[in-house]
């Protein structure tokens, strides 16, 4: 039995029918079945791709991307996912666009969506803004579709907002499923999502929030570690707490990297700005107080510099489970002595985990493709079976 066949069987037992014609904002807005369905479809799509079987479900159509922040990994993951399903990417470069001062999101969203099947958005810079913007876009195009302006309702894929980074967290989780040999093996595993020192400023909160919001659903022991003052959004901690309760796992917060690493099966050391600082920055930005932003930045860098000891060192790695915890990162990492003088992780640790880190990243295109697939196909299990059976060669090399 092919891997795809196995994933199809698993998928057919899950209830993911509400994902059809839906959008993907936050992982905790999805049911357990829906989360699992994304994993099953992602794995099936990867298996088919590995066996050179085409998974194009679109003959034509556009995938629109809007990146309000620089991006390489996610940009190419989105492009790959769209291409895998038959969609051509068209990027809205807000710099080159004629978007009038005061033009509503509603208008722009409709104007770019006449033939858009998918819209992928990254907007992670300001607290309270990114996710809200995505909702505005979705409301606009849903209305546009209802009004006969758009032939189809484009599906939103959140490529990182101020609250969650669902494609990253889910790719990370699929990496764990792959590494530990099944979703059921994640139960009881300890993961340390830890703040780490970086000489840069203002890194988004969406990765730590995404990780605690998702991994707590897998029955894992999730420990969030950071210096005082680097709190994440309280509502996301609340989500993590409730998830842990339901899944039979646990969630706790500590102010000590060593405690988090102790006997951990997985460590995820990564810098971020504090929620409070990000909120302050958003306010200053709203007021156009750029001197204030500069002053804040200076202050925050000084604050950061007090915590240079929050580094993922060889010594700390030795304290993890058998000294062999799986090291994770969303990349690019701040590597001490490589990309900066002092950073998130020792070069020798990073180097040892380079291969698993790249594998971790390689799941993202399939996660995005699976989110789109589930939103665009009425009966995903049957469609995967049909694709496997048709076995159209993706790359006609023979």
**Contact set for a second copy, span 325-364 (CB under 8 A):** 331-335, 338-340, 354-355, 358-359, 361-362, 364
* CB 195, min distance to a second copy, A: 18
Following CA atoms 291, 297, 299, 301 in sequence, which dihedral angle do they give, to the nearest 10 degrees? Answer: -160
| Residue 379 burial (CB count, 10 A) | 12
Q: Choose the binding region for a second copy from 83-91, 161-169, 203-211, 226-234 (rule: CB under 8 A).
A: 83-91
Residues 333/345, Cβ–Cβ less than 8 Å: yes
Instruction: Round to whole Å and give the CA distance between 246 and 388.
Output: 36
Single out the residue of 2, 90, 238, 255 in contact with a second copy (rule: CB under 8 A): 90
Nearer to a second copy, 74 or 243 (CB): 74
The yes or no reply on residue 162 touching a second copy (CB under 8 A) is no
Q: Are strands 250-254 and 221-225 parallel, antiparallel or unpaired?
A: parallel
The yes or no reply on residue 22 touching a second copy (CB under 8 A) is no
* CB 169, min distance to a second copy, A: 18
Binders in 33-62 for a second copy, by CB under 8 A: 46, 49-50, 54-62
The yes or no reply on residue 167 touching a second copy (CB under 8 A) is no
DSSP one-letter code for 154: P
The yes or no reply on residue 284 touching a second copy (CB under 8 A) is no
Binders in 129-158 for a second copy, by CB under 8 A: 144, 147-152
Single out the residue of 69, 139, 184, 315 in contact with a second copy (rule: CB under 8 A): 69
Instruction: Round to whole Å and give the CA distance between 379 and 282.
Output: 43
Q: Choose the binding region for a second copy from 34-42, 81-89, 214-222, 272-280 (rule: CB under 8 A).
A: 81-89
Q: What H or E segment, with its residue span, contains residue 250? A: strand 250-254
The yes or no reply on residue 194 touching a second copy (CB under 8 A) is no
The yes or no reply on residue 83 touching a second copy (CB under 8 A) is yes
The yes or no reply on residue 276 touching a second copy (CB under 8 A) is no
Single out the residue of 300, 304, 376, 388 in contact with a second copy (rule: CB under 8 A): 376
Residues 131/25, Cβ–Cβ less than 8 Å: yes
* CB 180, min distance to a second copy, A: 16
Following CA atoms 12, 79, 103, 111 in sequence, which dihedral angle do they give, to the nearest 10 degrees? Answer: -70
Nearer to a second copy, 97 or 238 (CB): 97
Instruction: Round to whole Å and give the CA distance between 38 and 2.
Output: 18
The yes or no reply on residue 92 touching a second copy (CB under 8 A) is yes
The yes or no reply on residue 181 touching a second copy (CB under 8 A) is no
The yes or no reply on residue 311 touching a second copy (CB under 8 A) is no
Q: Are strands 250-254 and 266-270 parallel, antiparallel or unpaired?
A: unpaired
Q: Is the omega angle on the peptide bond into residue 41 within 30 degrees of 0, that is, cis?
A: no
- Smallest CA-to-CA distance from 284 within 127, 70, 146, 161 is with 127
Single out the residue of 114, 235, 238, 324 in contact with a second copy (rule: CB under 8 A): 114
Question: CB burial class (10 A; 0-12, 13-18, 19+) of residue 258?
Answer: middle
* CB 142, min distance to a second copy, A: 13
């Amino acid at each position: 039995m092919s891997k795809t066949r196995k994933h199809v069987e698993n998928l057919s037992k899950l209830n993911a029918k509400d994902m059809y014609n839906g959008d993907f904002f936050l992982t905790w807005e999805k049911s357990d079945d829906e989360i699992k369905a994304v994993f099953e479809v992602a794995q099936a799509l990867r298996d088919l791709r590995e066996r050179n079987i085409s998974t194009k479900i679109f003959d034509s159509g556009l995938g629109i991307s809007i990146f309000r922040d620089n991006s390489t990994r996610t940009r190419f993951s989105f492009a790959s996912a769209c291409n895998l399903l038959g969609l051509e990417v068209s990027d809205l470069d807000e710099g080159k666009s004629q978007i009038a001062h005061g033009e509503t999101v509603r208008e722009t969203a409709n104007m770019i969506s006449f033939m858009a099947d998918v819209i992928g958005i990254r907007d992670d810079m300001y607290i309270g803004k990114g996710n809200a913007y995505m909702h505005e876009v979705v409301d606009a195009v849903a209305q546009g579709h209802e009004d006969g302006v758009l032939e189809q309702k484009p599906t939103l894929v959140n490529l990182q907002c101020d609250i969650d980074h669902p494609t990253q967290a889910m790719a990370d989780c699929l990496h764990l499923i792959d590494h530990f040999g099944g979703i059921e093996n994640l139960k009881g595993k300890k993961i340390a999502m830890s703040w780490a020192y970086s000489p840069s400023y203002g890194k988004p909160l969406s990765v730590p929030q995404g990780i605690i919001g998702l991994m707590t659903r897998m029955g894992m022991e999730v420990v969030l570690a950071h210096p005082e003052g680097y709190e994440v959004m309280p509502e996301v901690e609340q989500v993590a707490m409730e998830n842990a309760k339901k899944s039979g796992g646990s969630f706790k917060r500590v102010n000590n990297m060593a405690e988090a690493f102790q006997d951990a099966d997985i460590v995820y050391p990564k810098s971020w700005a504090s929620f409070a600082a990000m909120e302050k920055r958003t306010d200053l930005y709203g007021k156009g107080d750029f001197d204030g932003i500069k002053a804040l930045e200076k202050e925050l860098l000084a604050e950061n510099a007090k915590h240079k000891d929050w580094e993922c060192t060889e010594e700390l790695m030795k304290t993890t489970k058998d000294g062999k915890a799986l090291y994770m990162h969303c990349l690019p990492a701040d590597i001490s002595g490589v990309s900066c003088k002092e950073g998130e992780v020792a070069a020798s640790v990073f180097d040892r985990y380079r291969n698993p880190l790249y594998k971790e990243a390689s799941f993202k295109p399939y996660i995005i493709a699976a989110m789109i697939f589930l939103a665009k196909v009425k009966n995903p299990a049957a469609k995967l079976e049909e694709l496997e059976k048709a076995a159209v060669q993706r790359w006609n090399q023979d």
